[in-house]
Structure 1
Amino acid sequence: MNEGRKQRISDAFGAAAAHYDDHAGPQRFAARLVADLAQRQGPSDAARILEIGCGTGLLTRDIQARWPGAQLVVTDLSPAMLDRAAAQGLVGGTFLAMDGESPPFEGAWFDLILSSLAFQWFDDLSGAIRKLVNLLTPGGSLIFSTMGERSFGQWRAAHAACGLEAGVPDYPSLAAVRAMLAAYDDSFAFDETVALDSGGARGLITHLKGIGAVVPGAGRRPLTPTQLRSVMAAFEAAGGADAYQILFGRITRAGDGR
């Protein structure tokens, strides 16, 4: 695990906490759909719920509204994001700064584990999913959303047109996530495309900075000002619009503990 990069991610999201919600349209959509899936596909009597990557609490508040009697453990890599979620005053539970790839829990404890748009920051997605499934009680469900490979496709294409590589991290394909989930008997995955109405290149950059998604993929270097201007011009020439591909997945742990 790249501890230095994880710290940069934590710091970037912490710096964005105060204004994150102003830029979080796709994040709201994803959080709401994760909660809807959990209510339809997860255990109806969930007593213990773990959230991975709470951010400012978009999903957290929905969880508590739907399962008001559950014991809720809310986690995030960024302490500042945790503080923001807890400060809303509408959520009760245990708030814990934690890397979702390295949960400090042991054994089958949670009836429901939920996460929205956090898994894309993991170094080992398949390994993290395995660890989280092992924390589920028999019949419990892991339900999550994460970024898909077609996210920011026009922004990536603008970089390629300039002979450059975008700093946006590489995200998995829907087929790759389905292959990971195929190891579990009761699972599925699907995707949704969410248009990003950001208002051109400057708007896209503002959006990414606003949500704290500014740490480049491993091995990527920031663009020089001249390179950035070229990429922005290419992006505008191609229409100046982009989208999220959001992948959703669910795994329900079998009664035999698999």
Structure 2
Amino acid sequence: MRLAMNDRSRQWRKQRISDAFGAAAAHYDAHAGPQRLAATLVADLAYRQKPDGAARILEIGCGTGFLTRDIQARWPGAELVATDLSPGMLEQAASHGLVAGRFMTMDGEAPPFEGPWFDLILSSLAFQWFDDLDGAIARLARLLRPGGSLIFSTMGQGSFARWRAAHDACELVAGVPDYPSLGDLRRLLASYDDAFAFDEDYALACGGARGLIAHLKGIGAVVPSEGRKPLTPRDLRRVMAAFEESGGADAYQVLFGRVTRGG
């Protein structure tokens, strides 16, 4: 019974995430500076890995289509399956005239495909919403054809460090999820024969606490970690003041990983 309750809790959380991103889809692009940069680097890494010969490509968490459009520009002849947990995000991505392919609502942790099928599986800033990152990477890696690569970016432990520090200063716990460190990701990928991970920092010139909150709302990243409750208005004001005192700016630490299946 407890497992069933956990399953229901996970399903409810996934639905909340889907709804939040769907609500943000129409204005997501205006707030998504770091997301653009991370998507471009994922595409660059993939192109260095497979400049040609990618017949089938799966994208996990396509959002409004930053990476999707880059994929199509670099591999125009590939069969592309672009997926996202949020139907609203998929609709936004598919609405761009330069994007063609199959758009599919899908939880990236539970792909409905079986056996080696894809030459590339790409994802940018979606894996941080997974409940089981290790298991998800293993499942996706099994979908790679020989010589195929899984290349992804995800949030790192150093993201929003000043916002977290402002909560600590007020003896409060931030709702921001506990992201893995670069060392954590490297240890996770160590079991694969051909894999690597590295990180990049992207400054977020949010212009203060209100700007940071507007950024998070603008991209739909408003679902707190499980078990963490929203702050009271009084506590939120305290945290915002502490954040302003620290300079009112923050950053993303983005982790990048690649797993290649042997030929």
Shorter-chain TM-score tier: over 0.9
How far is the alpha carbon of 1:41 from its aligned partner? 2.0
Q: Which residue does the alignment assign to 2:202?
A: 194
AA aligned opposite 2:147 = G
Q: Deviations over 1:177-224 (max 9, x none)?
A: 001111111110000000001101000000000000000011110000
Q: Is the counterpart of residue 232 in structure 1 residue 243 in structure 2?
A: no
51, 68, 73: which one pairs with 2:81? 73
Does the aligned pair in 2 maintain the 1:74–1:95 contact within 8 Å?
yes
Q: Is the counterpart of residue 6 in structure 1 residue 30 in structure 2?
A: no
Per the normalisation by structure 2, the TM-score is 0.96
28, 32, 39: which one pairs with 1:24? 32
How far is the alpha carbon of 1:89 from its aligned partner? 1.4
What SS does the corresponding residue of 1:45 show, helix, strand or coil? coil
Alpha-carbon distance in 1 for matches of 2:233, 2:41: 38
Q: Deviations over 1:199-254 (max 9, x none)?
A: 01000000000000000011110000000000000000111110000000001001
Q: Which residue does the alignment assign to 1:209?
A: 217
Q: Which residue does the alignment assign to 1:121?
A: 129
Does the aligned pair in 2 maintain the 1:43–1:139 contact within 8 Å?
no
Alpha-carbon distance in 2 for matches of 1:80, 1:241: 30
Does the aligned pair in 2 maintain the 1:147–1:244 contact within 8 Å?
yes
AA aligned opposite 1:49 = I
How far is the alpha carbon of 1:43 from its aligned partner? 6.1
Q: Which residue does the alignment assign to 1:252?
A: 260
Q: Which residue does the alignment assign to 2:177?
A: 169
Alpha-carbon distance in 1 for matches of 2:209, 2:87: 30
Q: Which residue does the alignment assign to 1:144?
A: 152
Alpha-carbon distance in 2 for matches of 1:144, 1:59: 11
Q: Which residue does the alignment assign to 2:119?
A: 111
Alpha-carbon distance in 1 for matches of 2:128, 2:121: 16
215, 222, 232: which one pairs with 2:230? 222
Q: Is the counterpart of residue 96 in structure 1 residue 104 in structure 2?
A: yes
AA aligned opposite 2:159 = S
Alpha-carbon distance in 2 for matches of 1:37, 1:200: 33
Alpha-carbon distance in 1 for matches of 2:79, 2:52: 14
Does the aligned pair in 2 maintain the 1:76–1:96 contact within 8 Å?
yes
What SS does the corresponding residue of 1:245 show, helix, strand or coil? strand
For this pair of structures, how many residues does the alignment match? 255
What SS does the corresponding residue of 1:17 show, helix, strand or coil? helix
Q: Is the counterpart of residue 35 in structure 1 residue 43 in structure 2?
A: yes
**Structure 2, unaligned runs of 5 or more:** 1-6
Does the aligned pair in 2 maintain the 1:86–1:95 contact within 8 Å?
yes
Alpha-carbon distance in 2 for matches of 1:178, 1:186: 12
Q: Deviations over 1:92-120 (max 9, x none)?
A: 11100000000000010000000000000
Q: Deviations over 1:115-157 (max 9, x none)?
A: 0000000000000000000000000000000000010000000
Q: Which residue does the alignment assign to 2:4?
A: none
Does the aligned pair in 2 maintain the 1:186–1:253 contact within 8 Å?
yes
Alpha-carbon distance in 2 for matches of 1:157, 1:196: 16
